Amino acid sequence: MRLRQLLLLVHLLVAVSCQRPPQQTATQATSSTVYFPPKGDAWQRKSPAEMGMDAALLEQAVAFAKATETKQMPRDFSTQEEIFGKLLGPIPNDRAATNGIVLRHGYIVAEWGETQRADPTYSAAKSVLSTILGITVDRGMIKDVRDPVVNYITDGGYDSPHNRKITWEHHARQTSEWEGEMWGKKWDFVGREAFGRGERPPRELKEPGTYYEYNDVRINRLALSLLRLWKKPLPEVFRDEIMNPIGASDTWQYIPYPNAYVDIDGKRMPSVSGGTRWGGGLWINSRDEARFGHLILRNGRWNNRQIVSEGWLKQAVTRGPVGPDYGYLWWLNTEKKAWPDAPATSFAAIGAGSNIIWIDPEHDIVIVWRWHDGNPNELFKRVLAAVKP
């Protein structure tokens, strides 16, 4: 009898041991190890060693970043109109020097420069609009991202036979080929005064969905369409649905052009842009961008709140059928051409300047790097070299 009991006990112990979760590796993070910073400046730091990184190699990566300030954008923004064309909105008198932050599992492992200074982030704002679009779909305000926009928006912007074919997804993939004018800028980017060095030669429109063109006029049209759906200024949507829930600071601003106002239900509301090409746009500090990046890295969840669905984010970082390695207003690395030394699963919000929020799910890392003149791959490979196997 005792022998049978002993055998049963052995079998039970074996079964229990087989059900134990696998040991956590340096590159994995469980819900118990992931950290979400509280609102305010009390963001916990961890030593590189605590986060499975080599301190000396990470220090070398930061030294490289500090030595690589942008030459494209002087601190007084004096080249703005030369590069982008006539301004429609405000631009700061100066900006911070190159600065940045590295997160692992949500903790700060490296930080340099004025990371709490709110500066224009240019087209990194497009990934913010992508996330607002995702929340709009999650809420059922758009039934399907592949629906024609004209099914929802009846302000005349989609009435032509050509524009009637445009879907929300076309806008998000920059394949809409929307034809028209927004706030004094035409879709075609023709003219040095209006578009600076970014001017383009005339060309024929293509069928929506068949041709990729990076085009801020069309993204500004998307922003106006989202405003009309929400019937609430998008800066307020961004604040209430994203920034307040993730504990962001109160220093950021999403600034419209002075002429970018419309009447909605008898109220005058601003429509924001997808960047700072013509002034205005999202002015934000690096720490707040790191929070936003950490939200996306966590598949849209912050603590116990799902802010944007995991399903949307999976779609948003899936490459489209035409154009470069691009998702829904996110830059991808699927082909490993953008950042050869980084994982193919990594992706980023990118703006002129250069401003970047890079997200690496494989290593559970977020890097924000502002006002740099270097190839981002050179920083990423240095940080990744510091990750211990």
Domain spans of the chain?
Answer: 48-386
pLDDT tens-digit readout, 267-319: 999 999 999 999 999 999 999 999 999 999 999 999 999 999 999 999 999 99
- The whole-angstrom separation of Cα 197 and Cα 212 is 20
Question: 10 Å Cβ neighbour count for 140?
Answer: 7
Burial classification of residue 372, based on how many CB atoms lie within 10 Å of its CB (0-12 exposed, 13-18 middle, 19 or more buried) = buried
Helices 216-230, 125-138: axis angle to 10 degrees equals: 40
pLDDT tens-digit readout, 219-260: 999 999 999 999 999 999 999 999 999 999 999 999 999 999
pLDDT reported for residue 374: 81
- The whole-angstrom separation of Cα 388 and Cα 51 is 9
The DSSP call for residue 220 is H
Question: 10 Å Cβ neighbour count for 196?
Answer: 19
Domain 48-386 CATH class label: alpha beta
pLDDT reported for residue 229: 98
Q: Which residue has tokens 């992931």?
A: 34
Do residues 273 and 260 touch, judged by C-beta distance below 8 A? Answer: yes
pTM, rounded to two decimals? 0.92
Instruction: Extract the residue ranges of the chain whose pLDDT is less than 50.
Output: 1-28
- The whole-angstrom separation of Cα 296 and Cα 274 is 19
- The whole-angstrom separation of Cα 151 and Cα 158 is 9
Question: 10 Å Cβ neighbour count for 3?
Answer: 7
Query: Going by C-beta distance under 8 Å and a sequence separation of 6 or more, which residues neighbour residue 356?
Result: 124, 348, 349, 350, 367, 368, 369, 370, 372, 376
Closest CA to 100 of 383, 388, 386: 383
